[in-house]
Amino acid sequence: MTSPDFQLVDAHCHLDFPDFAEEREAVIARALQAGVTRMVTICTKLKNASAVRAISEAHDPVFWAVGTHPMSAADEPLASVEDLVELARHPKMVGIGETGLDYHYTAESRAVQQESLRIHIEAARRTGLPLIIHARDADDDMARILAEEHAAGEYACMMHCFSSSAALGRAALDLGFYLSMSGIAAFPRSGELREIFKSAPLDRILVETDSPYLAPPPHRGRRNEPAYTAYTAKVGAEVFGLSLPEFAARTSANFDRLFSRAAGWSRA
């Protein structure tokens, strides 16, 4: 198989999920063959940190991040800043999260979600690692908390799987944050979302799968995997009027700027 003439980063996937248990090695191999040379696998519950860390340790192209997903915030022990800072000592741990707010299914836990979010933000400040944000149906509170906390002390941030309003997108960009394109941006009916990305500075754009979820066409409705980052990147290239290799190079440079620990990592 001919190697593609570009290199991409899947900035957010979940390689520890059961969907990949039977063929994780093959999934990573397919990603590399598709030009996806680095992946960040996300731990959504602190009790799973050791398993997610082990995946990154076993595979050179895989990095990891850890946090408590907002939909689990009420059911899991509240993380402490110290817990997250300690986990961040690992050389391939590159981000804090995913954290955030999700009022779509779990609005009843909004208070603990907000508390958890602020804890993760403080951990991002202390470690210098970027925050990884999940936001759904909580735009006003999200914009307010991100701005309040940024005013109290700067931190870096990726708006993972961004599919929120133009207002939240602009608020995030105004704080110097990054917007990440997932397969949602490639859906035929996502024209308004593509316009939000088009209006953003190219140097603040990342690409991800959020696999096993949200597979882009032509795989929509089936299990997603990191190799499919290329399908979303192709749409992103069209949005910005670039070739796929140009878009891949620019978004990879953006990833290196935000996830500087991943950019600087090498096996001893």
Annotated binding site: 12, 14, 98, 134, 160, 210
Neighbours of 152 (CB within 10 A): 12
How many Cβ atoms from other residues are within 10 Å of residue 2's Cβ? 5
Binding site for a divalent metal cation: what residues are annotated? 12, 14, 98, 134, 160, 210
Residues with Cβ within 8 Å of residue 53, at least 6 apart in sequence: 43, 64, 90, 92, 93
CA distance 219 to 225: 10
- Within 8 A by CB and 6+ apart from 176, the residues are 154, 156
Which strands form 131-136's sheet, in the order they lie side by side? 8-13, 36-43, 62-66, 93-102, 131-136, 157-159, 178-181, 205-207
Give the N- to C-terminal CA distance of the chain in Å, as an integer. 30
Orientation of helix 139-152 relative to helix 166-174, angle to 10°: 10
Return phi, psi of residue 89, to 5°: -70, -20
